Amino acid sequence: MTTNRPVLIAGGGIGGLTAAIALDRKAIDAQILERSTFSEESGAGIQLGPNATRILRRLGVLDALDPQTFRPDAVWLFDGRNGKKLATVPLGAFAQTRYGAPYITAHRADLHEALRTVASDCTHVSLSPEFTVTDVRDEDGISVTGSDGETRNGSLLIGADGLWSTVRGWVAPGMAPSFTGATAFRSLIPRDALPEPFSSPIVGLWLGPRSHLVHYPVQGGEAVNVVAVTEQGEKEEGWNRSAAKETVLGNFARWNDAPLGLLDAAPSWRAWSLFGLPALPHWSRGATVLLGDAAHPVLPYLAQGAGLAIEDAAELASFLGQTPSQLSRAFQAYEAVRHPRATRVQQASRRLGRAYHMGDGFLGEVFRNTRNTILGLRSETATLRGFDWLYGHGG
Ligand SMILES: Cc1cc2nc3c(=O)[nH]c(=O)nc-3n(C[C@H](O)[C@H](O)[C@H](O)COP(=O)(O)OP(=O)(O)OC[C@H]3O[C@@H](n4cnc5c(N)ncnc54)[C@H](O)[C@@H]3O)c2cc1C
């Protein structure tokens, strides 16, 4: 950063807003170019582990978000076919004490709004809504062009423009997401309309053949977010298309009556296809660097996409603060730390997905029974301790 130009950030989602706030804390000017009006319409819930909330607390975002969050006591695991409870993994006070930061659930829109509010109050952050980045140039400083032809100049560019990143096309041409074959359906249900365990203060995780179901309170505990994932469906872009109840129920036809009742209680459904991306050869080119889903989208089985974007943003800002005049050194240090971390989370997420979805066919049935037995034999805290590497990160 040899000029007094701002850091340009393409994308004002979870990673882009966090990066701008983290740069502000280092007195580095940042300009966020966001194609929307900074309104998050994707009405899904989100889980944030202590690895993410620790950073949000340090940046002053957790306080802004707190009234809208929920702190679940535990994860309860169930077999989706027979309805049997398999295991409890403690969260709540246990996770808070173990990791020094809370495990929370929230509505994505509330997280986005808290980030936007804090960013708006930052001296060094400016927000440019309705600016869709269409082109990147790196000649004597970085410049980006918007869809209306307007150009912005900066000292460097952070591509935080999500799964369908335009900036990635500049950094790693030809690398595009591919459909995994799975679809996620989501809905929001008033909590007082639901029976236990769906209204319980927990994250409920129901495992079934080639499918699973997650539910947890959001909006301060007023509503329950439901996400149903199945290894079927059409390849379509977008996170917010509507889906018929019959389609969702059809995918869970042989499930137990209790989770089926939850699916039936949902007033409406939204769907999105799950995409993956092969590892990029590099995350930066010249004065441009990627973070979050633009660099390494992760399947939702470990609920860590936002967590990784938040971690990326904080670490990138830290390296830029340490060596502001040596971009390539900062980018190399960032990638050296973040690449193995993101890869580990991606691999763990895929592994969990396979374990969640066991039970298809004769062999699958054997695996499912073995999985259920192992889950039942483990002590409550042992399962959580297995995730110390994840939630203890940066502690
Ligand atoms: C329904 C759902 C549930 C999820 N649940 C969890 C969870 O429980 N826990 C978790 O950690 N993660 C979860 N995730 C994943 C998480 O939301 C993403 O991994 C995270 O948002 C990635 O952050 P990001 O900043 O990289 O991208 P995003 O938050 O997607 O932000 C990208 C931004 O870039 C903007 N943009 C795109 N293209 C351009 C352009 N050309 N010019 C300007 N702006 C542009 C977009 O409008 C958007 O605002 C979930 C995702 C979804 C969809």
> Ligand 1 atom closest to Cα of 161?
34
CB 78 within 8 A of CB 41: no
CATH, domain range 1-35+130-176+279-357:
3.50.50.60
Q: How far is the CA of 309 from the centre of ligand 1 (A)?
A: 9
pLDDT at 42 over 80: no
pLDDT at 134 over 90: yes
Q: Specify the pLDDT at position 235.
A: 80
35 lines ligand 1 (CB under 6 A): yes
Q: Which phi and psi (to 5°) does residue 217 adopt?
A: -70, 145
21-40 residue pLDDT tens: 999 999 999 999 999 988 76
Which of 161, 167, 312 best tests ligand 1's pocket when mutated (most atoms within 8 Å of CB)? Answer: 161
Atom of ligand 1 nearest to the CA of 166: 41
213 band by pLDDT with thresholds 50, 70 and 90 = very high
Give the whole-angstrom CA distance, residue 113 versus residue 40.
8
How do the domains of the chain map onto residue ranges?
A: 1-35+130-176+279-357, 42-107+178-276+358-395
pLDDT per residue over 284-308, tens digit each?
A: 999 999 999 999 999 999 999 999 9
Which CA distances in Å does 108 have to 13, 16, 111, 176, 357? 10, 15, 5, 25, 25
Write down the pTM of the prediction: 0.96
Please pick, among 99, 216, 301, 391, the residue that the annotation labels catalytic: 216
Token readout for 121 is 């109050």
What's the CATH number of domain 42-107+178-276+358-395, 3.30.9.30, 3.40.80.10, 3.40.50.11540, 3.30.9.90?
3.30.9.30
Q: Shortest CA distance to 177 belongs to which of 241, 113, 239? A: 239
Phi and psi at 357, nearest 5°, equal: -95, 15
Cβ–ligand 1 distance for 49 under 6 Å, the answer: no
The answer on pLDDT for 129 being more than 70 is: yes
